[in-house]
Amino acid sequence: MAVRLDEIRSAAERVAASHGLAVVDLEFTGPAKERTLRVFLEKNAEGRARLKAEIASGAEGLPERLVEGTLSVEQLSGVTHEDCAAFSQDFGVLLDVEDLVPGGEYTLEASSPGLDRKLTRAEDFERFTGCLVKVQTFEPVRNNRHWQGQLVGVSSPVPKGEGPGAPVDGGRAITIDLAATKQNSKSRKAGVSKVEIALSNVEKAQLIPEI
């Protein structure tokens, strides 16, 4: 019986919300007897807002890099081991009760998305504007499928058929400042300082850790 990832993700999001968390990504990998369900979590918007307020008030016990300002709350996600343990306990029970992972054996893992977290939605790109990113495209842009630099903007949706050169599907695009990081030979040969990539052309994208 096939694993229903959409249903599993929906269940994970319900449990995460009850703990003040949000699901960043979800993976189900491995052979039949060594299957692993990984759920990557972060504080939800309210949780991140509270964490920012704690930093502003000088609360104790916060991660050093947050207090120093070398990393932002958005980048660090704010998830603790206790958050992951509590989520895993409740989510594991729900998975078994609703039989969302048929076939018995599997391992459930919950963790933060890490400093190199994936960016999958337009909201992610908006939230992490100003950060360093690495992007792989489906189709080459200026003869190159691999770009990295500072994410400097996400274009607003364009109504179909409106504006000069408006895409017919009203699609959005991200702009990357290439001067912010070292480039590969293909991107250097492109001879541009910035590149615009349609969101629909983004195959993979993730943050570049800034430490």
Number of domains in the chain: 2
Same domain, 84 and 16: yes
Same domain, 104 and 134: no
The overall average pLDDT reported for the chain is 87
**Distance separating alpha carbons of residues 186 and 159, to the nearest angstrom:** 33
Same domain, 146 and 184: yes
Residue at 165 is within a domain: yes
* pLDDT value at 16 more than 90: yes
Look at 20 and 156; give whichever has higher pLDDT.
20
Residue count (the chain) = 211
Pair of tokens at residue 64: 């050093």
Three-class secondary structure assignment of 75-104: HHCCCCHHHHHHHHHHHHHHHHHCCCCCCC
* pLDDT value at 210 more than 90: no
Same domain, 75 and 147: no
**Distance separating alpha carbons of residues 19 and 185, to the nearest angstrom:** 46
Same domain, 75 and 16: yes
- Asked if 45 and 70 touch (Cβ cutoff 8 Å), the reply is no
Same domain, 48 and 140: no
Same domain, 94 and 129: no
61-106 pLDDT per residue, tens: 777 777 777 777 787 777 889 999 999 999 999 999 998 988 778 9
Q: At a CB cut-off of 8 Å and minimum separation 6, what does 118 contact? A: 24, 25, 124, 204, 205, 206
**Distance separating alpha carbons of residues 185 and 163, to the nearest angstrom:** 35
87 lies in which domain range?
5-111
146-196 pLDDT per residue, tens: 999 999 999 876 555 554 444 444 589 999 999 988 888 878 877 889 999
State the pLDDT at residue 52: 85
- The whole model's pTM is what? 0.80
Distances in Å between the Cα of 33 and the Cα atoms of 3, 6, 26, 80, 100 are 14, 22, 19, 29, 16
Residue at 117 is within a domain: no
Count Cα atoms within 13 angstroms, Cβ side, for 143: 9
Distances in Å between the Cα of 123 and the Cα atoms of 65, 77, 129 are 25, 15, 10
Pair of tokens at residue 8: 């599993």
Domain final residue, candidates 85, 111, 137: 111
- Asked if 149 and 128 touch (Cβ cutoff 8 Å), the reply is no
Residue at 116 is within a domain: no
